[in-house]
Amino acid sequence: MNNGQMAEDVELAVKGAAAVARYNWYGGAVPTAAELVERVREDHHD
């Protein structure tokens, strides 16, 4: 799956009913749950 393809599919599926955030790791890396949580917290630091 290319970069962003899954996010685009999710955006089509939710039809604007929910925001879709894109968190990409390049080079085939799969983030740990802790890495993903850290990135989400960085974006939503309120």
Domain that includes residue 34, residue range: 5-43
Q: Could you tell me the two tokens for 44?
A: 């939503």
Task: Tell me which DSSP letter residue 45 carries.
Answer: -
Q: Could you tell me the two tokens for 21?
A: 């955030």
**% of the chain with per-residue pLDDT over 70:** 91
- Looking at the structure of the chain, the number of domains it has is 1
> pLDDT digit string (tens) for 7-26?
899 999 999 899 888 887 88
Mean pLDDT of 3-10: 83
